[in-house]
Amino acid sequence: MWLREIKRFIRSRSRMIVMIVQPLFFLVVLGTGLRTIQLPGMESKNYTQFIAPGIITMSIMFSSMFTGISVLWDKQFGFLQEVLVAPISRLSIIVGRTLGGATTALLQGLIILLVAFALGIFPASITGLFLTLIFMVLSAFTAVGFGLIIASKMHDMQGFPLIMNLVIMPLIFVSSAFFKLDSFPPWVVTVAQFNPIFYMVDGLRGSLIGIDNMFHPFLDLLVVVAICIIMMFLGSYFFSKSEA
């Protein structure tokens, strides 16, 4: 199942192009165009440095969601039914799909990270780079788990991207990915602290550039680990109960 997901990703050139070009547009065009912007309370030298962690997280989140579309695609064309009735455990199916979706998301996240390096955004330390990779892995698995939850309850492949955009885009914008939360009203800051993506972006920013984060990266890490475990458990449970 893992190998199948990797092959589908490699063969789908249009998907690769879109999922890489879109975050690159935000990072290079938006970051370069607003390079001199100084948000309230922002310590970063330029806006590109500030938004890089948010763009990396956004890239991973949207890429991981394709695992859910893959499930719906297999439902529609009968492949999922063949797999579910095969003499193999559903756990191995879930693990394969999860690892496949997370791997493809990490590949795209790493590409954006390398572009950030090329733009002069370097890790604050070796420990920070290691923590950055951990946050990227946890974000990928969390998004895959959430995608499995939604896909297990849906049968409309066309409606899935709409639902995901409806859920993910507001969470991205209220996660400090593009703006410091200091520039928002207090009630927005309170709401943001219940946003799982906020802790991914905040932890990634604190790990990667070492400034402009609200909480200590290790505190963010504990929250993201807990969220990841919950999402993976629920995603695995709903997928195991789903019918082709």
Residue 218 — left, alpha, or beta (φ > 0 → left; ψ -120 to 50 → alpha)? alpha
* pLDDT of amino acid 80: 63
Residue 133 CA to residue 139 CA, distance in Å, equals: 10
What average pLDDT does the segment 87-113 reach? 78
- Whether residue 243 has pLDDT greater than 60: no
DSSP 195: -
The pTM (predicted TM-score) of the whole model is 0.84
Q: Which stretch, 39-53, 86-100, 127-141, has highest mean pLDDT? A: 127-141
Residue 17's pLDDT band (boundaries 50, 70, 90)? confident
pLDDT at 187 over 80: yes
Instruction: Report the 10 Å Cβ neighbour count for 77.
Output: 10
pLDDT in tens, 206-239: 999 888 888 999 999 999 999 999 988 888 787 7
Per-residue three-class SS string for 110-178:
HHHHHHHHHCCCCCCCHHHHHHHHHHHHHHHHHHHHHHHHHHHCCCCCCHHHHHHHHHHHHHHHCCCCC
Q: Is the pLDDT of residue 201 over 90?
A: yes
Q: DSSP character for 244?
A: -
Q: How many CB atoms lie within 10 A of CB 67?
A: 26
Cα gap 241→244, rounded to integer Å: 10
In whole angstroms, give the CA distance from residue 154 to residue 189.
Answer: 32
The predicted model gives 42-48 an average pLDDT of 72
Contact assessment for residue 197 and residue 61, using Cβ atoms and an 8 Å cutoff: yes
pLDDT at residue 197 in the model? 92
Contact indicator for 157, 72 with CB cutoff of 8 Å = yes
Q: Give the pLDDT of residue 227.
A: 94
Lowest-confidence segment of 16-20, 50-54, 138-142 by average pLDDT: 16-20
Summarize the confidence of residues 24-40 as an average pLDDT. Answer: 68
Please report the pLDDT score of residue 205 as a whole number. 92
